[in-house]
Structure 1
Amino acid sequence: MGVKVSVVVPVAEPGPDDDAFDACVRSLLEQSLPSDEYEVIFADEGCGEATRERLDAVAAVRPNVRVLHLDDAGGHPGRGRNVGLAVARGDYVYLLGQQDRLERVALEMMHRAATETDADILIGRLVRGDNPPPRVFGRNRERADVLADGLLGLPTAHKLFRRAFLDGRGIRFPDIDAGPAEQAFVVRAYLAAKVIAVLADQVCCHLGPAPEAPPEPRAHVAGLRAVLDAIDECTDPGETRDRLYAHWLRTGVLRPLGGRRLLAARPDQRTALLAALRELAAERLPPSLDRHVPVHLRARARLLRAGDLAGLVALAEAGRGAGVRAELRDVSWDDGVLDLDLAVEMVDGAGRPVTFRADGDRLLWVPPLPGLALPPDLADVTGAVGQARMEVYVRDADNGLIFFLPVSGEVCRSREGDRVRLWAVGRARLDVDTAALGRPLPRGEWEVHVRMYSGVQQARTRVAGQRGSRLSCVGILAGRQRRLAIPCWSERRELSVCVEPRSFADSIRLVSPAATALHREGGVFVVLPVPYVPPSGGPPAELVLRQMAARPRDVSVPALVEPGVPGRFPGQLVARVAVRRLPGEGHLTPGLWTPALRVDGAETDLRFLLEVGRSGRTRVQSAGEPGTLAARPSPLARLAARLPGGPWLLRLGRALHDRYLPAPPTTETPK
């Protein structure tokens, strides 16, 4: 049997400690596809001697690995890929970066899907950091449309291409900067392909980090010209070409002229960027395209065409801090499915609800910058607001894998004078049996995120419980496989759902920020929720408290586990601890204490602190509670600083403050 897939990987010098490159190589060597059915082509684009020797050593013991040493590859970022495509023997070719990695079954699953759909291009599901996946990955698609299915939002070359299709059409990487060359290559392929298929229910590739450095303006514009040239070659003038042009007007021209990217640039960089993009817009991107971009970018377009850099900077400043606010109103189990009752609203930088101006039966967007106005035909967002929606998804805290949840609800409006306020309410349902695109949700801790599209902009944030509200942490044995699932809360009261915690003690750790301390009978009862108490009552446990001091002491006391009501109320773990003012064995003294749970001889750290005051009053401090380990020194702290060992203790306190009190959560700023 011949080679089914060739994987081409251009390699620049990865550095001695590049773990991502190591992971990339391992992922390629450990594919489930038989080794005689795929090949790996490393294109050396100027690696150091050690990396070359390493690649050659791999090729020496792996018959399906080849290394191309391209000593003169400098100056042409796409040459490594082009040479790899030229020598590839597979029916299909996959293009990978040196900091990306494939899932073990990726090549096998993508090749099967491509042959079944007779695809020229097969797009396997991609994952990058905590970014939610494009909606195109909502389901498998045998025939995807470039515009209708949003394929332009996937401009990188991480796809399976039929080799005969690329060769027959002469599709190669142009001699420009790597990023624009990749986009031009993909656009040509998209527009020439007869069949583009999408494999959504299998994660295929984990992308490396996106480039942080902003592009050099002239090189960026040269890349955009190459993309527009590719569109011209593959389309006729008309609506389709205009919409394709408008995509790059939005992503390549207007997006760099706003938000954090613009504000972080130096004045000379801003000036050069505006000049280069304005020149391109005047030549290739007429004002008639502005109606195809979101309304908030139409304001940038007007400022761009006027050459108003000060206006662009002021508009970016006015939008700083805007985002989305999510109110979690209830969390409950319904026949084995977790229900999340949510209300979501877009807010400006001051936390005020974003509103629209009513003009008869139309809604008009009002720019946040005073003095900037759009004509009514460009400011009209009536149709777009009609598509406003709320989306909820879960994200694996370890590997970034994301799945959207089904949401039922509605978009609400209220009118005050000539202003209309918009928000969404709905119920998201998490079924651990089907949440992973119809498959069981893998084991792990899954963060819950919400994203809102208002018709103008979109933003996302973590779902968090309201301060002072009771946080549900009831665990159940969910699904057909009866796997333990637990709603749990971070120190910032952000919601996650843990599927199959590692142990009984770990299930308590997850919800331990909800611990309380009660004074009774001359002692302190530390009470922790227990999400799920097994019929056996759980193993014997001890609460271990360790003093944060120059000479730390441990106090260990037995803990009693009391069952709750399955599916309705959690159980609780109760431990009685004595408190005294003077040091001694077996009791707490004034100061800060870190807790752990000891089960079967192993300790599990809990996620709160216990503070004992000089009067013996004891309170639980959540790691995210405002005021914990306050930075302003108390009289006792000032005294401690003068005592032997006191400065060390204060430094320890500050370190713990940084560890247990991270910065407040932020929302994603709309783009």
Structure 2
Amino acid sequence: MGVKVSVVMPVSNPGLTNEAFGACVRSVLEQSLPQEEYEVVFADDGSTDGTRRRLDAIAGHRRNVRVLHLDHTGSAARGRNVGVSVARGEYVYLLNQYDRLEPWALERMYAMAVDADADVLVGRLADGGPPQAAFAENRDRADIVRDHLLGVATPHQLYSREFLEAHQLRFADRPLSEAAFVTKAYLAAKVVAVLGDEICCHLGPAEEEWPDGEALFDGLSAVFDVVEAYTEPGGQRDRVLAHWYRVLGLRRLGGARFLAASPEDRAVLFSFLRRLTLDRFPEDLDVHLPVHLRARAALLRQDRPETLVGLAQASHGTRVSAELRDVRWDQGVLALDLGVEVLAGDGSPLWLTAEGDRLLWNPPAPMSLPRESADVTDAVARSRIDVYVRETETGVMYALPVTTTVDRAVVGGQVRVWATGRARLDASTAALGRPLPSGLWEIHVRMRGVHPGRTRLARPGVPTNCAGALSDAPRRLVVPCWSERGEFGVCVEPRSFSESVALVSSQATVAHQEGHVFVVVPVPYVPPSGGPAAELVLREEEGRGRTMVVPALIEPGVPGRVAGQLVARVPVSRIGGEECLGPGSWRPGLRVDQKDVDLLFGLVVGRGGQARVMPAGARPAPSRLRRLAVRVLGDRRSARAARVVRARRRV
């Protein structure tokens, strides 16, 4: 039987001890396909770090591994091209040196490609960003526009070698060559299939291309040439051109990097993008752009670079704000009620102008925009919320089902628009129909509509339900929790009782009674047998660095409805002492079975003996004594002076 798949990987000084490179190599050597049915072609770009010897050693005892020793060019394009030219497989898969394949990836992709008779098969990728819409389901016949293939612009795909040779698909040694290669492959292929129900490849870090104005013009022109050569005039061509014009061109005319560039560099970029716009992107295609990019295109045509910079400055900081309004369990599924809105750079709501039954965008900088270009009525109607869970260690993300409602308020002739949504997280099915792996999962929110954007889900200012519940098949504890920065997440199967309490401890409260303070920490889940024996450990952050340990009582709640409580009765006084808390900052921890876990809050005791909870990492306002010392002595000496005064007072 011949070689089914050739994996082509350009390599350039990855470092012998680099863990990501080692994981990449192991992933291609440990595929489920038999060794005689696939090969690995390493195209080494003149590495000088010992990589050549390492790869030669692997090839020495693996008959399906070949190493190409190339002269150094500094470009992955030549390595890919040479590797493809010598590949013997029926299909070719392109990989970078820090990527990682799942063990079954080649076998599954090859089987589906053969069944679909595909020229190109796009296997699901994980890159730490939101899951691409292209991977919503498996597709034997995918459409480049309808199925959002342009969102997968990386060449990490399975290609028929016969198809590559028939169309002479190779990488040009210039900026944006990957976009040109992938676009040509999509448009030239008779069949593009998508394997979306399992992750095939985890992408490693990649530097974003940021060519100068002239190189950008040449690269984007080459992409446009490909589109025009492989499409007929009409809707598909217009949408593909608009996609690349937006992603590779217009988005470079805003944001921190554009504003930080020198006036000369901005002028060059403006000049070349203006030329491209006038030559290749007629105004009637603006309908396929979001409204803030239509404004940039209009300023390019009007030759107004100063206004474009002003627009970028006024728009900088425009963002999506997502608020968690409620958390509750509904028959074993975690329901999240959200409010999501686009905010201007100054934090104010984004207001639209009402004209009859139409809504018009108000540019944040003075400029004239035709009414049809400013019309965002349809974009508002299509607004929706996307919610994802992201594993903190691997960056793998999965989409959650969400229902979205668009709301609006009218004040005079101005309209404020926001979206409310309800996401549902079923830990037993959230990973593409399979259980979420154990670990900590962040919650990310993306808003689609007038001004797309993405953000983390912030905790509301009021206490929120943090009761844990057991998921179905397998039975594991799932805990809604918050990071030290107040960002919402979910932990599947905490490693210990102490960890489950620490995850929600930022919601701790205190109450005072007769010389004592009661510290109350939520407990997401108390086993039916009751919680373990526990102690609250309080460590003084300044002064003498004392440690105080007090017993804690664990009170059960109602699983999936009401969190339990850990209550510790701590003596407190104005002057402190060996057996009570005194003024100062205290760092709490939870001790179970002689093991301590830090909790995500601080405890501050004032001069009057009153205690309050502070967020983790926050520092209390300095006392009057310290403020005076800072003015007189400076910060370091003032800290020592304040400690001396406090020590003398205790004596």
TM bucket (normalised to shorter chain) is over 0.9
Partner of residue 458, structure 1: 452
Partner of residue 434, structure 2: 439
Partner of residue 347, structure 2: 351
Distance 2:294 2:515 in 1: 68
Report the aligned-residue RMSD. 2.6
Of 636, 641, 656 in structure 1, the residue corresponding to residue 626 of structure 2 is 636
For residues 192-341 of structure 1, the aligned pairs below 5 Å read: 192-212=188-208, 214-341=210-337
Partner of residue 60, structure 2: 60
CA offset at residue 63 of structure 1? 2.7
Partner of residue 130, structure 2: 132
Distance 1:294-1:641 versus aligned 2 partners, 3 A rule: closer
Distance 1:209-1:650 versus aligned 2 partners, 3 A rule: farther
Of 522, 535, 541 in structure 2, the residue corresponding to residue 529 of structure 1 is 522
- Mean Cα displacement is larger for which, 30-39 or 424-433? 30-39
| Unpaired runs of at least 5, structure 1 | 654-671
Amino acid at match of 1:6: S
Distance 1:35 1:614 in 2: 73
Q: Retained in 1: the 8 A contact 2:13–2:49?
A: no
Partner of residue 656, structure 1: none
Partner of residue 50, structure 2: 50
Partner of residue 663, structure 1: none
Of 382, 398, 402 in structure 1, the residue corresponding to residue 377 of structure 2 is 382
Q: Retained in 2: the 8 A contact 1:139–1:437?
A: no
1:151 and 2:149 aligned: yes
1:493 and 2:483 aligned: no
Of 594, 598, 604 in structure 1, the residue corresponding to residue 591 of structure 2 is 598
For residues 2-21 of structure 1, the aligned pairs below 5 Å read: 2-15=2-15, 18-21=18-21
Distance 1:36 1:557 in 2: 65
Partner of residue 171, structure 2: 173
Q: Retained in 1: the 8 A contact 2:398–2:432?
A: yes
Partner of residue 189, structure 1: 185
Distance 1:564-1:282 versus aligned 2 partners, 3 A rule: same
Distance 1:174 1:104 in 2: 31
Cα deviation per residue 1:445-503 (whole Å; 9 max; x = unaligned)?
1112222222x221122222322x12111001122322111111223332111111111
Amino acid at match of 1:171: L
1:85 and 2:81 aligned: no
Partner of residue 665, structure 1: none
Q: Retained in 2: the 8 A contact 1:77–1:176?
A: no
Q: Retained in 2: the 8 A contact 1:395–1:402?
A: yes
Distance 1:570-1:56 versus aligned 2 partners, 3 A rule: same
Distance 1:63-1:600 versus aligned 2 partners, 3 A rule: farther
Amino acid at match of 1:387: R
- Mean Cα displacement is larger for which, 499-508 or 243-252? 243-252
Distance 1:268-1:20 versus aligned 2 partners, 3 A rule: farther
User: Percent of counterpart pairs with the same letter?
Assistant: 56
CA offset at residue 633 of structure 1? 6.9
Partner of residue 659, structure 1: none
Distance 1:649-1:59 versus aligned 2 partners, 3 A rule: farther
Distance 2:260 2:542 in 1: 42
Partner of residue 422, structure 1: 417
Distance 1:296-1:227 versus aligned 2 partners, 3 A rule: same
For residues 621-660 of structure 1, the aligned pairs below 5 Å read: 621-623=614-616, 628-630=619-621, 634-636=624-626, 639=629
Q: Retained in 2: the 8 A contact 1:395–1:401?
A: yes
Q: Retained in 2: the 8 A contact 1:550–1:648?
A: no
Cα deviation per residue 1:225-254 (whole Å; 9 max; x = unaligned)?
221222232223333322222222212221
Say which SS state the counterpart of residue 172 (structure 1) adopts. Answer: coil
Kindly tell me the number of residue pairs found equivalent between the two proteins. 642
| Unpaired runs of at least 5, structure 2 | 644-651
Say which SS state the counterpart of residue 85 (structure 2) adopts. Answer: helix
CA offset at residue 187 of structure 1? 1.1
Of 444, 450, 461 in structure 2, the residue corresponding to residue 449 of structure 1 is 444
Cα deviation per residue 1:513-557 (whole Å; 9 max; x = unaligned)?
111222234322222111000011122222222222365232222
Partner of residue 475, structure 1: 468
Cα deviation per residue 1:131-154 (whole Å; 9 max; x = unaligned)?
212222222222211011121121
Say which SS state the counterpart of residue 78 (structure 1) adopts. Answer: helix
